[in-house]
Amino acid sequence: MAVFNHLPMGQEGLKEIYRWLDDFASKNNAISYKKVLGKSPDNWDIPAVFVTNRDIPDDDKQIAVVTLARHGQELGARVVGPEILHYLTSDDAKAIRDTQLVIVVPVVNPEGFILNEFHSSQTSLTKTERLVLGRLFKAYAPDMVIDFHSLGKVEGSKYDRGDLEAIIPANTTRWAMDEQIHYYVAQRMQEAAENAGWPYEIHTLEDLAAYKFAGREIGNMPYTYLQEKLYLLHMMDSHDNYDIPEEAAYTNYTCGPAYEKWHTLVFGMETNHWGITEPGDIAVSGMVPCSALLKMGTTRFAWEKDRGYPVNILHGDFRISLRPLGKNAAERRASRTRIWGERMYFNLPQREMPDPETTITRVRYFGADLPMEFALCLRMRKSRIKSLTLGSKEVEFETFKDRCSTFVYIPLVMDRAGTIELMIKHPPG
């Protein structure tokens, strides 16, 4: 049984969901609390429910944000939020509560909800979203954001109507392997959904463009496809901090600008309220990939030093990268945000092997945010490092492993712009 086995509609439906949220927060007050983030233009509250283990300091936790129902007529998104909240109280979610602060915003757009109309934007955040989410993210810069939508009989896709459910890792880039990382995570979400009986697709920005803008005539697609991809990429505004007043950014999903701003892991989701006829099934089919994602946030990804969402390769690739510093999640988040904002002022970090027992590595920073603090991280074939030196000086480092290699993590401080060159001595491969 799902939490909601019907689709709440109109004012009464909104009130019903809001009553449920109040009830949830009071019943589960050891692990949750409700905050009103702001008001819709017609003066409805926009509440969020925070779920976490309140005995563990928030600074030790990742911040995960789930937003739903920004598009008023996408009915499926109405029932997924309560289902996720319900899941978060379960034993299965204990590790999530211990290591994350999960913030669920079940109805981003109450006005659209009541009207049962889109009442939103496909190309930018609305003024209300900027106010409400801007305020939230200012206090809680997210490590992960997932934004739920829902496809119906004709809404959304122009070429595949009525039955599609999709995970959209669209608002990312190819910088620092991010596209690969988002797809890796999306595939694991898809797998979890399929194991539970829900056939999801993973769709790209290009696929998404075809849903929204492409022509329906047979034979029309390829050209429109390309044209719209270019349009969308040009519309992505890397300066959108959830605070620019109007327009100009491509953002079908509320999570879009978070990637650019905080290097957040971001997913759009499309559940389905036509092909799936039972509202309880819609709720569960939305909850399952979300819970898989939240669970991944409690684990350590093979290439990451610490457990949490895989958002810490800020430049370079898996073999050589720039990483944040910090002894807890909050410090790493602040360091990540700072380095990410300066990423254009680093050269691509380099490595070379003059002989099989020596690796030389270089990083250049030419920005003005000094002293610049970051870690340089190299993936090595052998686990033993004989020495790591800068000129004649030994340099401190840490190591962590994946299944078949060792990562050397080297904290560095640059007091002025320039190049750091380090020499690593190791056994031959």
Contacts with Zn ion, residue ranges (CB under 5 A)? 71, 74, 149
For 242, how many CA atoms within 13 A lie in the half-sphere containing its CB? Answer: 24
- When the beta carbons of 111 and 178 are compared against Zn ion, the nearer one is 111
Least distance CB 208 / Zn ion (angstroms)? 10
DSSP 296-330: HTTS--TT-SSSS-S----EE-SSEEEE---SSHH
Inter-residue contact 328 to 314 (CB < 8 Å): no
In 216-264, the DSSP E strands lie at none
Least distance CB 170 / Zn ion (angstroms)? 12
**Whole-angstrom distance, CA of residue 295 vs CA of residue 315:** 26
Cβ-based neighbour number of residue 118 at 10 Å: 15
Element (H, E) at 65: strand 62-68
Least distance CB 259 / Zn ion (angstroms)? 18
- When the beta carbons of 149 and 273 are compared against Zn ion, the nearer one is 149
Least distance CB 272 / Zn ion (angstroms)? 12
**Whole-angstrom distance, CA of residue 27 vs CA of residue 3:** 15
For residue 346, the 8-state DSSP code is B
- When the beta carbons of 149 and 315 are compared against Zn ion, the nearer one is 149
Inter-residue contact 422 to 376 (CB < 8 Å): yes
Q: What angle do CA 349, 355, 358 make, to 5 degrees?
A: 55
Which residue sits closest to Zn ion, CB atoms considered?
149
Element (H, E) at 111: helix 110-115
* Residue 182 neighbours by CB under 8 Å, 6+ apart: 169, 172, 265, 266, 267
Inter-residue contact 362 to 424 (CB < 8 Å): no
Least distance CB 70 / Zn ion (angstroms)? 7
* Residue 337 neighbours by CB under 8 Å, 6+ apart: 141, 261, 262, 263
Element (H, E) at 235: helix 221-235
Nearest partner of 232 among 262, 211, 217, judged by Cα: 211
- When the beta carbons of 71 and 86 are compared against Zn ion, the nearer one is 71
- When the beta carbons of 74 and 304 are compared against Zn ion, the nearer one is 74
- When the beta carbons of 210 and 296 are compared against Zn ion, the nearer one is 210
Q: At what angle do helices 10-27 and 77-88 cross, to 10 degrees?
A: 10
Least distance CB 71 / Zn ion (angstroms)? 4
- When the beta carbons of 118 and 175 are compared against Zn ion, the nearer one is 118
The strand pair at 144-151 and 265-272 is best described as parallel
Least distance CB 171 / Zn ion (angstroms)? 14
- When the beta carbons of 111 and 342 are compared against Zn ion, the nearer one is 111
Least distance CB 78 / Zn ion (angstroms)? 12
Q: Please give the C-alpha separations between residue 71 and each of 76, 156, 184, 330, in angstroms, as whole numbers.
A: 10, 11, 27, 32
Inter-residue contact 422 to 388 (CB < 8 Å): yes
